[in-house]
């Protein structure tokens, strides 16, 4: 089993765990963490792609590495934005939940807004 395969499997595992957490966990902070795990898995895939593309004598294909740096910056800003929103939500309501029934659900409370 080559190193690329092992890293590929690790990436798949991280993506699977992250996806599971992002979909099933009701707490927003855990969703944000799960998104980061998911993102790490994807970045690892880029690493594997860079390694596989390097078969023609190079140490590594530089393009996926450049893409990963951009991806990390994007994921970082996404996390920052999400945490900022979460903090704001916590300050405003004293709890942090995404459940629709915790907010005025559309159609039942016309005076909500």
**How many angstroms separate the first and last alpha carbons of the chain?**
59
Q: Which of residues 5, 6, 24, 76 is near other proteins by CB under 8 A? A: 24
- 92 touches other proteins by CB under 8 A: yes
Segment holding 97, helix H or strand E: none
Closest separation between CB of residue 75 and other proteins, Å?
8
Q: How far apart are CA 48 and CA 7, in angstroms?
A: 7
Nearer to other proteins (CB atom), residue 1 or residue 55: 55
- Residue 92 sits at the vertex; the CA angle it makes with 113 and 80, to the nearest 5 degrees, is 110
- Cβ count within 10 A of residue 11: 20
Which among 49, 82, 76 has a CA at the least distance from the CA of 64?
A: 49
The angle, 0 to 180 degrees and rounded to 10, between the axes of the packed helices 3-24 and 28-52 is: 160
- 37 touches other proteins by CB under 8 A: no
Closest separation between CB of residue 1 and other proteins, Å?
18
Q: Which of residues 64-83 bind other proteins (CB under 8 A)?
A: 64, 67, 70-71, 74, 77-78, 81-82
Residues that bind other proteins (CB under 8 A): 15, 19, 22-24, 26, 28, 31-32, 35, 38-39, 42, 45-46, 48-49, 52-53, 63-64, 67, 70-71, 74, 77-78, 81-82, 85-86, 88-89, 92-93, 97-98, 100, 102-107, 110-113
């Amino acid at each position: 089993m080559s190193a690329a395969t092992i890293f590929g499997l690790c990436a798949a595992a991280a993506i699977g765990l992250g996806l599971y957490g992002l979909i099933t966990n009701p707490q927003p902070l855990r969703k944000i963490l799960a998104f980061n795990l998911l993102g790490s898995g994807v970045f690892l895939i880029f690493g594997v792609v860079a390694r596989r593309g390097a078969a023609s004598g190079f140490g590594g294909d530089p393009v996926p590495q450049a893409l990963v740096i951009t991806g990390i910056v994007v994921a970082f800003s996404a996390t920052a934005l999400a945490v900022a929103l979460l903090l704001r939500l916590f300050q405003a309501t004293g709890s942090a939940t995404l459940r629709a029934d915790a907010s005025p659900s559309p159609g039942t409370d016309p005076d909500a807004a």
